[in-house]
Amino acid sequence: MTTAYDVSADRLIEQMAGDLKALPEIVPPEWAPFVKTGISRELPPENPDWWFVRTAAILRKVYLQGPIGTRRLQALFGGKKNRGVKQEKARKGSGSIARAVLQQLEHAKLVETVPNGRQITARGMSFVDNVAHRCIQ
């Protein structure tokens, strides 16, 4: 069976984002069009479907690295802060986006809470594996 390890990340995330749009539990909050995704960014994302892409990317990270918490997701989705003439520094991404996405994935029964963070459920693993199988074909 094909898994997320067998497919390139960009194809898998793109396909999963399209499939996550169909789930009624995954909806962007009303503040999503106006928010920056981290302190290292100057503007909000240009892609109107960025919420679904971020949700798919976080679901893939939970699949590959779970159990994982919001703190590690913030570090993974962070970037370099431009500080003018000073040297750039690494900054974390938005914690509220990571938290809201994980809560939506939990309502969709794709991830579950464990003592060390969140891990993927059997339904979530099946969802990711089915999408990965379709990406291979």
Flag whether pLDDT at 2 surpasses 90: no
In this predicted model, what pLDDT tens digit does every residue of 24-40 receive, in sequence order? Answer: 999 999 999 899 888 88
Q: What is the pLDDT of residue 40?
A: 86
**CATH second-level architecture of 4-136?**
Orthogonal Bundle (1.10)
Percent of all residues in the chain with a pLDDT value above 70, rounded to a whole number:
100
Flag whether pLDDT at 23 surpasses 90: yes
Q: What is the pLDDT of residue 73?
A: 94
My answer on whether omega of the bond before 48 falls inside 30° of 0, hence cis, is no
Residue 131 near residue 13, CB atoms below 8 Å = no
The angle formed by the CA atoms of residues 27, 55 and 8, to the nearest 5 degrees, is 140
In this predicted model, what pLDDT tens digit does every residue of 30-82 receive, in sequence order? Answer: 999 899 888 888 888 899 999 999 999 999 999 999 899 999 999 999 999 99
Q: What is the pLDDT of residue 51?
A: 95
Confidence label for 127 from pLDDT (cuts 50, 70 and 90): very high
Q: What is the pLDDT of residue 42?
A: 86
In this predicted model, what pLDDT tens digit does every residue of 93-108 receive, in sequence order? Answer: 999 999 999 999 999 9
Average pLDDT over residues 98-121: 94
